[in-house]
Amino acid sequence: MATNTHNDSDNAKLLYGMIQSLRTISQQLVPKTQSKDYQNSLSLSSTNRVKTIKTLLYSIHLKETITGTKIVVLTDNNVAKDKIELAMDTIYTKLLVPYLAANPMAVKCSSDDSIIIRNSNFINQVDRLLQPL
């Protein structure tokens, strides 16, 4: 689990736990015959996944890449789903890969096995990308 240094790590851990629980439940809802068909598939779209969690005040948008990287963005409910999906794709392809994957010093592992993103360029670029939404 990686957290932006601007975020509270306790809230990030609670959010991560909730997402993992919902993912487990959604996987259990897939009929057994269907889940067997896809258990060896590399396609993420072949499984029952949680992509958006919506409350009265905000939405949690989730993106998981084939490598297992998870991007979670919290927005108010006025943000268009297609805009946030495009922003998450941009975060992964244009920011995460060049700023973090290509620079192992940009992340710091903590004692609880979480990863803290400490690359200020990455954090500032993500903030700049998401603020207009």
How sure is the predictor about 26, in pLDDT bands with cuts at 50, 70 and 90? confident
* Domain interval for residue 17: 9-29+47-131
115 lies in some domain: yes
Burial of 99 (C-beta count, 10 Å sphere; 0-12/13-18/19+): buried
What would the pLDDT profile of 32-89 be if each residue is shown by its tens digit?
665 555 554 444 544 567 788 899 999 999 998 887 788 889 899 999 989 999 999 9
103 lies in some domain: yes
- What length does the chain have? 133
Provide the domain count of the chain: 1
106 lies in some domain: yes
Q: Are 5 and 122 in contact (CB under 8 A)?
A: no
4 lies in some domain: no
Q: Taking the CB of residue 95, how many other CB atoms lie within 10 A of it?
A: 20
Cα–Cα distance measured from residue 133 to residue 129, given in angstroms and rounded to the nearest whole number: 8
38 lies in some domain: no
1 lies in some domain: no
15 lies in some domain: yes
Instruction: Give the CATH number, domain containing residue 66.
Output: 3.30.450.70
What would the pLDDT profile of 77-127 be if each residue is shown by its tens digit?
999 989 999 999 999 999 988 888 888 777 776 666 667 788 888 889 999
Cα–Cα distance measured from residue 10 to residue 91, given in angstroms and rounded to the nearest whole number: 23
Residue 2: both structure tokens together: 């990686």
Cα–Cα distance measured from residue 14 to residue 7, given in angstroms and rounded to the nearest whole number: 12
112 lies in some domain: yes
Phi, psi of 98 (to 5 degrees): -70, -35
Whether pTM > 0.75 for this model: the answer is no
